[in-house]
Amino acid sequence: MNVQKGLKGVIAAETSICEVDGSNGRLIYRGYEIRDIATNYSFEEVAYLIWFGELPSDVQLEKFKISFASHRNLTPTMEKVLHTLPEEMDLMSVVRTVISSAGDSSMKWKPTVEDAIKLTAVLPTIIAYRKRILEGKEVIPPIEYFGHVENYLYMLKGKAASTQHIRALETYMILTMEHGMNASTFSARVTASTESDLVSAVTSAIGTMKGPLHGGAPSEVIVLLNELSEVNDKEFYLREKILAREKLMGFGHRIYKTHDPRSLALKNTLTELVGKDVWLDLALEVERVAIKVLEELKPGRGLYTNVEFYAAAIMKAINMDAALFTPTFTASRMVGWTAHVLEQAEDNVIYRPLSRYVGK
């Protein structure tokens, strides 16, 4: 029997949630191409699609938004845990710990969509409260009539964000909402397969996302953009980096062998915002120049921008600290994790792969 280290290429489940087609550069949510979804729908509409399998009607959407917004406040237990954690604890560990405290007797097997909504709705509040507490500022309570992403930015900053920044971040959070059987999603499904509760499953996923090989923030792309913002001849600068065998952060992807469809969708949104933010303009210019140089110096390699490249530009534009990058990614991916746990529960078999003994 062959050993597939890391289970690479092994099909462990059937799913109707998402298809990641790396060879052809396609990402599909419930039968919808990601570029159409990211361009035309809100975070709440896409979350509804992923959880329920179809886009909502206007009436369904209004009811869903009201339900979603009603779960943004922390429970007393969450507040107590949040305020007792040490200052030196990193934000992903804080998120993991506070979310785990939501595991009360109401969270049972089988999980429900209502459970999924509760965890997804409250996560931005946890992140924003912790950030403001560390800054010595008063926390900003959520606003029920704000959309999910608009409310997140408001709680972080204490003021309403611009339409451009809301749109850019919402597109990013839709694009990172779900991505097949990645490491954190697999963790969630393994935990759920034991008939553990939804909170335990997503706590496993958050712990997996915390690892730099999976949820690593696009901070190195920020470094690249910072450098290039000071350079007049960007083509010369990038050429020298590539010739020196330096890795160009934000280009290339392990799964996608052509364009990352999430990057294309994000670029499409950012193109609409040309001239409205200097960092978004810079990202578009850097991509154009870098791909030209890469095609010249590394022909046939198919090194195009990945989603982290434009994510970095968005984070820079909205002045979001590097410590918030992976937690924000987590806030979007909570939708995908919970959808997979719900799917696992419908046809559950406990995961029990084999190992090959090579000891004495």
pLDDT tens series, the chain, 360 aa: 677 777 877 888 899 999 988 778 789 999 999 988 988 999 999 999 999 999 999 999 999 999 999 999 999 999 999 999 999 999 999 999 999 999 777 788 899 999 999 999 999 999 999 999 999 999 999 999 999 999 999 999 999 999 988 998 999 999 999 999 999 999 999 999 999 999 999 999 999 999 887 776 576 788 888 888 888 898 898 888 888 888 777 776 566 566 678 878 888 777 777 677 788 788 888 888 888 888 888 776 667 777 788 888 888 888 888 889 899 999 999 999 999 999 999 999 999 988 889 999
Q: Which residue has the tokens 């009603």?
A: 70
> Are 283 and 335 contacting, i.e. CB atoms less than 8 angstroms apart?
no
**Do 47 and 100 share a domain, yes or no?**
yes
What is the reported pLDDT for 349? 94
Whether the link from the prior residue into 110 is cis, omega within 30° of 0, is yes
Question: If we measure between CA atoms, which residue out of 182, 193, 214 comes closest to residue 337?
Answer: 182
Separation of alpha carbons 208 and 187, rounded Å:
7
- What number of helices (H) and strands (E) belong to the chain? 17, 3
Catalytic residue IDs: 253, 308
- Torsion on CA atoms 224, 229, 231, 234, rounded to nearest 10: 60
Tell me which H or E stretch contains 101. Answer: none
Q: Please give the helix or strand (H or E) that residue 27 lies within, else none.
A: strand 26-29
- Looking at the fold, whether 231 and 263 belong to one and the same domain comes out as yes
**Euclidean distance between the first and final Cα of the chain, in Å?**
20
Look at residue 289 and give its three-state secondary structure.
Answer: helix
- Please state, in angstroms and rounded to a whole number, the distance separating the CA atoms of residues 183 and 99: 19
Provide DSSP, 144-188. Answer: TTS-HHHHHHHHHHSSPPPHHHHHHHHHHHHHTS--SS-HHHHHH
Domain that holds residue 267: 219-317
Tokens standing for residue 123: 């996560």
What interhelical angle do 307-317 and 278-297 show, nearest 10?
Answer: 150
The structural domain count of the chain equals 2
249 and 125 share one domain: no
User: Would you tell me how many other CB atoms lie within 10 Å of the CB of residue 71?
Assistant: 16
Q: Indicate whether 274 and 309 sit together in one domain.
A: yes
Q: In CATH, what number is assigned to the domain containing residue 27?
A: 1.10.580.10
Same domain for 41 and 125: yes
**Residue 353 counted as domain residue:** no
Tell me if 360 is assigned to some domain.
no
Domain match, 85 and 127 both? yes
Is residue 334 located within the same domain as residue 312?
no
Query: Is residue 179 located within the same domain as residue 271?
Result: no
In angstroms, the CA 152 to CA 158 distance is 10
Q: Tell me what pLDDT residue 221 has.
A: 81
Written as six digits, the tokens of 109 are 């097997």
Are 110 and 34 part of one and the same domain?
A: yes
